[in-house]
Amino acid sequence: MANETVENGEGKANIRNANLTSSLDLSTSLDHSVQTRIFKIIVIGDSNVGKTCLTFRFTGGSFPEKTEATIGVDFREKAVEIEGEKIKVQVWDTAGQERFRKSMVEHYYRNVHAVVFVYDVTKMASFQNLKTWIQECNGHRVSPSVPRVLVGNKCDLIDQIQVPSNTALKFADAHNMLLFETSAKDPKESQNVDSIFMCLACRLKAQRSLLYRDVEREDGRVKLSHEPEVKSNCPC
Ligand SMILES: Nc1nc2c(ncn2[C@@H]2O[C@H](COP(=O)(O)OP(=O)(O)OP(=O)(O)O)[C@@H](O)[C@H]2O)c(=O)[nH]1
Ligand SMILES: [Mg+2]
């Protein structure tokens, strides 16, 4: 079974369980003329590390003048095109403060497609707490095949950096994650912020294309001519 979030032609989002052994379900969920795939990406980390600002930068292209602690979750979406397929990247900007997240945690991890762990390069504690965030994620039965990346934010505050790059890199390697060090605030870093989410979207697209081709081999009735065997242009 694979969980797929799709949107129909009338713009109504619905979450469905696409049983990949059913040729009918599969052909429906892949009919690109009617439906757009949605990739759910959650952004996790301590309060104040800049999760809201990073998601704002990616979806709106700017740095918010003023933010308040996120309560529960804020959804932000961006339509992107990867190798000719239109995809909606649905970013879940989660709350870092325990009191604003506890009733929502189950929802964060349900049917998640990718996870972004954020720390603040000027706050060692936010880096040390990553272990707890990873434990929480693992505790919610998130499959190891769900891609995860690590983001060190606030790199514009050059004089205040507490987390050395090589320490972060070792941690990322040990947890099989890519590391991005960036700044939601610095406009020169905006492409770098985009590449965090685009990289994940590319990986998800590539993963899912493979999955569908595997099914095609197992079930001769399914013909997926619109999933061509092309090499991914994923930047990472
Ligand atoms: N200098 C600098 N400040 C930043 C950056 N990103 C965020 N901030 C500031 O950090 C503070 C917290 O940012 P938020 O994005 O609200 O933090 P958050 O992680 O969403 O916090 P919660 O919603 O409480 O979990 C704000 O004052 C932002 O202006 C950055 O890249 N550089
Ligand atoms: Mg926030």
As for ligand 1, residues whose beta carbon falls within 6 Å of it are 47-53, 67, 69-70, 95-97, 153-154, 156-157, 183-185
| Structural domain includes residue 58 | yes
Q: What percent of the chain has pLDDT over 70?
A: 74
Residue 57 lies in a domain: yes
Number of domains in the chain: 1
Give the residue, out of 67, 104, 126, with the most ligand 1 atoms within 8 A of its beta carbon, to mutate for a pocket test: 67
Distance from Cα 71 to the centre of ligand 2, integer Å? 8
Residue-level pLDDT at 82: 93
- What is the ipTM score, two decimals? 0.99
Mean pLDDT of 21-27: 37
Atom of ligand 1 nearest to the CA of 70: 23
Residue 32 domain flag: no
> What global pTM score does this model have?
0.82
The answer as to whether 25 is a domain residue is: no
CA of 50 to the centre of ligand 2 (A): 7
Q: Which long-range contacts (CB under 8 A, 24 or more apart) does 77-86 make?
A: 78/197, 79/36, 80/198, 80/201, 82/198, 82/201, 82/202, 82/205, 82/233, 83/205, 83/230, 83/232, 83/233, 85/32, 85/37, 85/205, 86/32, 86/36
Residue 102, classed as helix, strand or coil, is: coil
Query: Domain for residue 111, yes or no?
Result: yes
1 in any annotated domain: no
Q: Has residue 206 been placed in a domain?
A: yes
pLDDT surpasses 80 at 23: no
* Residue 5 binned pLDDT confidence (cut-offs 50, 70, 90): very low
Q: Is the pLDDT of residue 171 over 50?
A: yes
Report the CATH number at residue 193: 3.40.50.300
What is the overall mean pLDDT for the chain? 82
Does residue 104 sit within a domain?
yes
**Enclosing domain of residue 126:** 38-214
Residue 108 pLDDT greater than 90, yes or no: yes
CA angle 44, 66, 54 (to 5 degrees): 35
